[in-house]
Amino acid sequence: MRYDKHLFICTNQKPEGKACCGEERGMALVEKFREVLKEKGLNGKIRAQKSGCLDACKYGPAMVIYPEGTYYKNIQISDVERIVEDHILNNKIVGDLELVWEDQKA
How much of the chain, in percent, has pLDDT values that exceed 70? 90
Structural domain span for residue 17? 5-104
The residues, any chain, with a CB within 8 Å of residue 45's CB and separated by 6 or more, are 3, 4, 5
Contact 66, 51 (CB under 8 A): no
Domain count for the chain: 1
Threshold 0.75, pTM exceeds: yes
* Average confidence score pLDDT of the chain: 90
Residue-wise pLDDT for 23-52, tens only, equals 668 889 999 999 999 999 999 999 999 999
12-28 pLDDT, tens per residue? 887 776 666 766 688 89
Ramachandran bin of 45, using left for φ above 0, alpha for ψ from -120 to 50, beta for the remaining angles: alpha
The CATH number for 60's domain is 3.40.30.10
